[in-house]
Amino acid sequence: MPRLETPIEIGGLRVRNRLYRAPLLECAGDGPGAVDRLIDGLEPAAAAGAGLICQGAMPVRQEGGRVAPNMTTIADPEFVAEASRLTDAIHDHGARIFAQLDHGGLRSLEAWHRAYREDHPDIRQIAVSDPPALLQLAARTGFLDFDYDVLSTGEVYELAADFGRAAENAVAAGYDGIHLAGSNMGIIQQFLSPFYNTRTDEFGGSFENRLRFLERIHDEIRERVGDVPIMTKVPSEATAPPIVRPRLSTEDGIEIACHLDRMGFDALVPVRGSTFWDMSIVRGEHPARAWADSSFEEGYAATFGSGWRARVVALANRIQARKYDREPGWNADFCRRVRDVVSIPVLCEGGLRRRSTMDDLLGDECDMIGVGRPFYAEPRLPARVLDAGRTAENPADPRALCESCNNCTIPQVTGAPGICRTPSVLRRAGELRKDGVYERSSVEE
C-alpha cells in the first residue's frame, strides 16, 4: 500500500509524494505585488515538503467570472510575464505547481456581491441557461441580482477557447499542469448540471451533451499545450436540498468520471456538494468569530447590500453548519467508487487533518491527499505531517491544528486574505514555530 511519502505520476509528471496543497482562495489580487504575495503564500508549503501545490481558482478572463474579490487572473499578460518567479520558487524546493482555471458563470461576483456590482456596472453575467426558479426567487428578495446573457453556441466555443488560452499562459509561466475548477458551482458544473443546464443546442439536454463543454475545454488545452497534465474536479450534487430536482447524483458523478478518463484527463478530484454556494463546500463549525468581528461589519453590509441581509446570510451559515456532516474525508466514499472504475489517479480532499486518516485512505479510496484550510494556520504543515518532520516533539500520528471553524473563509467575501483568525490555533502554531518544528527541513525525494 502506498504511503504519503510514496512518489506518484500524474500524466507522466513525477510528483515526489502524495500530499498536496489543495486549491484555496489566495486573494492575492492583480497588478504589482500579486506574484510576491503568491510566493509568500505558496512557497512555504513547497519548502516544507508538499509534493504538489494547486494554486487556487484563476479566472480565465480579465473581466468577469470572478467568484470572490481579489482573485488573480491568468489572462493578465503582466501577471503571466512575472509568474515564472513563483513557479521557479516552487520548483527550487522540488515540488510541482498546477494552475486551477475557473469562471464563475452565475456564481460570479456580479451576481451576488453588491459592492462589486456598483463598482463594475457594465459587467453582465454569462449564463448557461436562464437561472433556475429557486435562484430567480432569491433574486426577487434582493440577495442576487441577475443581469445576464445566456451564451450562444458560438460563445460557448469561445469560452472554451479562453480556458485553452489560459492554460497556454500558465504553461508559458512555468506551471507544471492544469487543474480545472469543475465543482463548487462554477461554470463547468453549471454546464454539467441538469439543474442549471436547460440548453437545447449541442451543449445541453442529454447527459452526453452536457459533458461537451468540458470535453471542448480539454481539447482546447491539448491543442495548445500538448501533453501537459490536466485534472479536474468531478461534481456530485447529492447534498443539495431534497426539493432540488433535477440534479447530479453520485452515480452521475461516477459516470462523468468514466467519460473524463476516456477523454484523456490525467487525474480526477471527486467532490460531493450542492447546487448552491453553501457550507457543503467548507464543512465545519459556524464561523461565529468571523461574523462577530466588528472590523468586517461594514464589509459584510457592502457585500450583501445591507446589515440585515448580512445577518440573514450568517443565520443560513449557522443552519448549514448543523446540516452537513463534518466527518474527515467526506468525499472518500465518492472517491473510492470513482477509483474503482477509472484508470487514472484519484485525489481526495475534504476535512482531512490526521496523518493516520490520510494513510488509511491511500490505496483504496484515493491516490493522493489534498489539504486546504489548515495551510492558512500552518503554511509549513508538511514538515509536521511527512516523515522528515517527525521528532520527539512531533507525535507519530500528527494532526493539523485547524479546527474547521471557518473563521478564515467568511471575511474573504470582503476581499480579506485567507488567514487563520482563531486565537487558540494561532497560539499553538506560534508555539510549534518557536520550537522549530516547521524548520526541520524539506522532505527529500
Give the pLDDT of the chain (445 residues) as one tens digit per residue.
899 999 999 999 999 999 999 999 999 999 889 999 999 999 999 999 999 999 999 999 999 999 999 999 999 999 999 999 999 999 999 999 999 999 999 999 999 999 999 999 999 999 999 999 989 998 898 889 999 999 999 999 999 999 999 999 999 999 999 999 999 999 999 999 999 999 999 999 999 999 999 999 999 999 999 999 999 999 999 999 888 999 999 999 999 999 999 999 999 999 999 999 888 888 999 999 999 999 999 999 999 999 999 999 999 999 998 888 778 899 999 999 999 999 999 999 999 999 999 999 999 999 999 999 999 999 999 999 997 555 555 557 999 999 999 999 999 999 999 999 999 999 999 999 999 999 865 445 4
Q: Looking at the domain assignment, is residue 135 inside a domain?
A: no
Q: Looking at the domain assignment, is residue 1 inside a domain?
A: no
Please give the distance of CA 200 from its chain centroid, rounded to a whole number. Answer: 30
- The domain in which residue 195 lies consists of 8-108+159-280+327-439
Q: Which residues contact 149 (CB under 8 A, 6 or more apart)?
A: 124, 125, 126, 127
Cα distances (angstroms) measured from residue 360 to each of 329, 354, 384: 11, 10, 18
- Gap between the Cα atoms of 234 and 254, Å rounded: 8
Strand residues in 286-349 grouped as ranges (E): 347-348
Question: Number of structural domains, the chain?
Answer: 1
Q: Looking at the domain assignment, is residue 415 inside a domain?
A: yes
Side chain identity at residue 11, one-letter code: G
Side chain identity at residue 29, one-letter code: G
End-to-end CA distance of the chain: 18
Q: Looking at the domain assignment, is residue 321 inside a domain?
A: no
Q: Looking at the domain assignment, is residue 13 inside a domain?
A: yes
Q: Looking at the domain assignment, is residue 366 inside a domain?
A: yes
Q: Looking at the domain assignment, is residue 146 inside a domain?
A: no
Q: Could you tell me the CATH number of the domain that includes residue 348?
A: 3.20.20.70
Predicted model pTM = 0.96
Judged by phi (left if over 0) then psi (alpha if -120 to 50, else beta), residue 386 lies in: beta
Q: Looking at the domain assignment, is residue 379 inside a domain?
A: yes
